[in-house]
Structure 1
Amino acid sequence: MIISVEDRFEKLYMDLKAAGHEVYKLSENKTSEVVIYSGYNTHIAAINASSLTSGNTGVFLINGDNKDAYQIDSMLRNKTYSSLF
C-alpha cells in the first residue's frame, strides 16, 4: 500500500516509514492508495485525489491531525476510521 503524507507531518512520515510502510510526501505527487492530510491546513476539496490514484480504486483519505502512527496503522489495517463496535 502506497501512502502519501502531507509534508507538515514529518514525525508521522518517519514513524510510518519505520513501521515498514511505503510512504511519500504529498508534494512528491506519487500515485497513492492512502492520503494523510491536515484539516487545519488543507481543505479536503483542495486535495486532487484523482491525480494520486490509478484506475478506479479511489483513495483512502485520512485526516492526520492529532493522530499517531499507531492510530494510522490501525486505520490502514481495518480500512476504517474507527472501530465499528
Structure 2
Amino acid sequence: SLVSFLQKLDWGVAVLADLDACRRVAYENVVDVANAGIDYAELRFSPYYMAMKHQLPIEGVVEAIIDGVQSALHTY
C-alpha cells in the first residue's frame, strides 16, 4: 500500500540526523552510480522531507546535497 511504502521512506530519512549525513548520502549515490558503470543518472530528493525529522535547515540540506554530488564528481 502507499502508506506502507511511505513508512519505509520515513525510516531512510530518520538516519539523516545532520547535514553531513545528507552530504554523505548524496556522495555515496554518485559513487555507486560511477562504480556501476552508469553514464547518466538523475538524483531526486525532497529538501523539506529530508530536513523535517531533525529540524535541519532546508537551505542547508540543498547545499549539502550539492556539495556531496560535486565532491563525488571530482573524485570519480
TM-score, normalised to structure 1's length?
0.26
Q: Give the number of the structure whose residues are more often strand, by fraction.
A: 1
Q: Give the number of the structure whose residues are more often helix, by fraction.
A: 2
Larger Rg computed on CA atoms: 2
TM-score, normalised to structure 2's length?
0.27
